[in-house]
Structure 1
Amino acid sequence: MIIAAIIVLALIVYLLTGGADFGGGIWYLFATGERKEAQRRALTQAIAPIWEANHVWLILVIVLLFVCFPSVFAAMMTALHIPLVIMLVGIVLRGSAFAFQSYSAGAQGLERSSARVFAIASVSSPLLLGVCVGAIATGEIRVLENGVVDTNFVSEWLSPFPFAIGALTLVLCAFLAAVYMTVEAPGEALKEDFRRRALWSALATGVCAFVAGLLAIRDAPLIWEGLTGAGWSLLFQLITGLAALLAIGALWTRRYRLARVAAGAQVALIMMGWALAQFPYLIYPDFRILESAAEPAVLRPVLIALAAGSVLLVPSFLYLYAIFKPREAPELAGDEERVNEP
C-alpha cells in the first residue's frame, strides 16, 4: 500500500514538473504575435536546465511498477503497448530534438526541423499518457484464468473516455506551463502573454473535466462513483474547485506567485482524487493493490532503497531548482511596457 501511494506521489510530481515541460513545448508550438520568438526563447530558457532531471519521476514509476507490481506492469504493457511505445518514443525524440535545436550551431534547417519535432512530441506525449491513465479505469483490460491478458491491443484505449482524459492531461500541462511562465518570463509584456494563455487553458481544463466526467458515467463507472458517491468526494471536490478559483483569481489580479501555488495544488488534488476514486484497484477490475503486490521479501528492500534514495534525490532536486529557477526573472532589453487589461 505504501509503494502504491509513492507511485501516485511520483506521478503527481512528474505532472507538476515534467508535465509543465511538456506544456512549455505546447506553447512553443502555438507561440503567436509580435513577441513570438521572444516567447519561444523564454520557454527554452525555462525548460533547458531541468527537463532531463524531471523525467526521473516517470522512471521511478515504471521501475516501481515493474518490481513491486509485476502482474500489473505486464498487463499494462501488453494491452497498452501501442500508446505507451508511441509516448516513450515521443519523449526520446522530444529530448533529442531539444538538444539538436539548442546546439544547432547556426544550421537553420536543423534548428527548424528539431523545433518542429520538439513541439509535436510535446503535444503527443502527454496526450498519450492521459490516454493510458484513462484506459486503466475503464474495466476493458482483463486477464483470463490462465493469466493471459485478453486484448486486441486497440479497443482498451481507442475509445472516447481515454482520449477525454488524454485531452484533460494535455490542457493541464499547458495550464501549468503558462502559469509558471507568468513568474519566470522576463519582462511584463511576456508575462502578460502567458497570463492570457493561462486563463484560456484554465477554461479549457474545466471544459475537458466536464466532458470526461460525463463520459465516465458510462465508460468508467468506478471513477464516477468514487468522485460523486464516496464520503470524501464532496469535500474533496470543493477544495479542488476552490484551488482552481484561487488560481484564476490570482491570474486575473496578476498575483503570479500565488497563482503558481494554487495551480500546482489544483493539479495535485485532481490526481489525488483520481487515485482515491480508483482505490483499491491499480487496474480495474482484475488488479487490486494488495493482491497484485510482489512478495514482502521484494517490497521491504524496495522501501529501504526508496528511503535511502530520497535522502539524496530530494535535496538534489531542491538544490537544482534553487540554482536554475531564481526568484526574479531577468529583464530583456527593449521589453515592452506592462499591459494592464484583463
Structure 2
Amino acid sequence: MTEVLDLVPIWTLILGLAVFFYVLLDGFDLGVGMLYGLAPDKRSRNAIMNSIAPVWDGNETWLVLGGLGLLAAFPTAFAVIIPAVYFPILVMLLALVFRGVAFEFRSHEAEEKGFWDRAFCYGSAVATFAQGVVLGAYVQGFPVRDGQFAGTSFAFLTPFSILTGVALMFGYGLLGAGWLILKTEGNIQAAARRQGRICLIGVVAAIAVVSIWTPVVSAAVAARWFTWPDIALFAPIPVLFGVIALGTWRSLGGKAEAVPFFGAIGLFLLAFAGMAISLYPMIVPHQLTLWQAASSPRTQAFLLVGTLFLLPVILTYSSWSYWVFRGKVRADVGYE
C-alpha cells in the first residue's frame, strides 16, 4: 500500500520541471537584460527590450511554483535550504523587483531613461549572480542538525559558489544571445553572435572546472560517475555536451538563427541532468534524501490534485504568449 501511495517521484518530477523551466525561460530574459547594457544606441535598446516585453513577467511564474512546491512537498528541505541561502535569495528577489520597476519606468520617464536602462541591466546581472551563488551553495551542501540548518548566515559564500555565480552569468548570457539571434536582425543579431561565442567559452570553461572540482571534494559524486557500470551509463552525457557545444559554436559563427538558442537549451539540459545524477536521491546534498524531507502522503496527494489542474493552465498560457508574439521584433513597434 505504501508503494502505491508513494508520490515522492511525481513531486520530484514536478519540482525539477519547475526549476528547469524557470532557469530556461527567466534565464534567457535575464541574459537579454545583461546584454541590454551593451547595446550601442536607443534604437538597439528598444528592439532588445521589445524582444522580451510580452513574455518576461510570465516567466517568473515558474519561480513561484518551484518555491511553493518545495515548501509543500518537501518542507524539511525547505526548512534547511532557505535559511542557508537566505541572503542571496533576498538579494535575488530585490534585484528582480528593481529590474521589474526599471522595465516599467523606462517607458514613462524620458528624462531618467538612462538611469532605468542601467538599472534594468544591473538588476538582471545581480539577480543572475545571486541565483548562481544559491546553486553553488546548494551543490556543496549544508550542515544539518535535528532537521534544521546548523551553519552560519554567510556559510553560502565560498569560492565554489562565487564560481557558479559567474558561470550562471555566462550561461544566461548565452541563452540571451541565442534569443536575440532568434528575434532580431542586422547589427543587433551580429553583436549577439559575438557575445554568444564569448559566453559559450565561459560556459564550457565553468562546466569543466565544476566537473573536476565536485568529484575531487565529494567521494559520493566521484563514485557515482567513475565506478562501473555507472561510468559506461553516464559517459554519453559529457560527450553529448561537447558535441552540442561544438555545434552551438559553429552556429554562432554562421547564419543559423534557431540553432544557437536551442543549442544553449541543450547545454543547460545536460548540465541539469548531470547535477541530478550527482545528487540523487538527495534533496539536501549529503544530508537528507527526498523521502526523508517529504511531507505526509496525504498532504502530497491533496496538493497534487490542485497542481495537476494548475500545470496545464500555466503551460497553455505560456505557450500561447510565445506563439502570439513569435517572429522578429522591431525597435519602433512594441512595448514603447
Q: Same fold (TM over 0.5)?
A: yes
How far the C-alpha of 1:279 sits from its partner, in A, is: 0.5
Structure 1 counterpart of 2:55, from 50, 53, 75: 50
Q: 2:73 aligns with which of 47, 68, 71?
A: 68
Q: TM-score, normalised by structure 1?
A: 0.88
Contact 1:225/1:277, CA 8 A, preserved across alignment: no
Correspondent of 2:120 among 109, 118, 121: 118
Is it true that 1:314 corresponds to 2:322 in the alignment? no
Bigger mean CA deviation after superposition, 285-294 or 214-223? 214-223
SS at match of 1:136: helix
2:50, 2:329 within 8 Å by CA — same for their partners in 1?
Answer: no
Within the alignment, does 1:14 sit opposite 2:22 as a pair? Answer: yes
Whether the 8 Å CA contact 2:31–2:124 is kept in 1: the answer is yes
Q: CA deviation at 1:220?
A: 4.9
Superposed CA deviations along residues 242-287 of structure 1, whole A, max 9, x for unmatched, are 2222212222222111222222122122112212211111111111
Q: Indicate conservation of the 8 Å contact 2:171/2:199, yes or no.
A: yes
Render the CA deviation track for 1:92-119: whole Å, top value 9, x for unaligned: 1111111111222x2x22x222222221
The alignment partner of 1:248 has SS state of: helix
Deviations for 1:53-97, whole angstroms, at most 9, x for unmatched residues? 000001110000111111111111111111111111111111111
Aligned equivalent of 2:153: 153
Question: 1:166 aligns to what?
Answer: 165
**Structure 1 residue aligned with 2:5:** none
Classify 1:224/1:90 alpha carbon distance in 2 versus 1 (closer, same or farther; 3 Å).
farther
Contact 2:28-2:175 within 8 A present in 1 as well: yes
Change (3 A) 1:285 1:331: closer
Give, in whole Å, the separation in 2 of the partners of 1:291 and 1:223: 20
Matches of 1:226 and 1:164 in 2, distance apart?
23
State the alpha-carbon separation in 1 of the partners of residues 29 and 220 from structure 2.
31
Unaligned 5+ segments in structure 1 are 334-342
Higher relative contact order (CA 8 A, sep 6+): 2
Alpha-carbon deviation of 1:310? 2.1
TM-score by length of 2: 0.90
* Alpha-carbon RMSD: 2.0
Measured against aligned partners, the alpha-carbon deviations of 1:174-231 in whole angstroms (never above 9, x if no partner) come to 000001111101x322211111111111111112222323332444554455455534
Aligned residues: 322
Partner of 1:278: 279
CA distance in 1, matches of 2:38, 2:160: 26
Identity in percent: 22
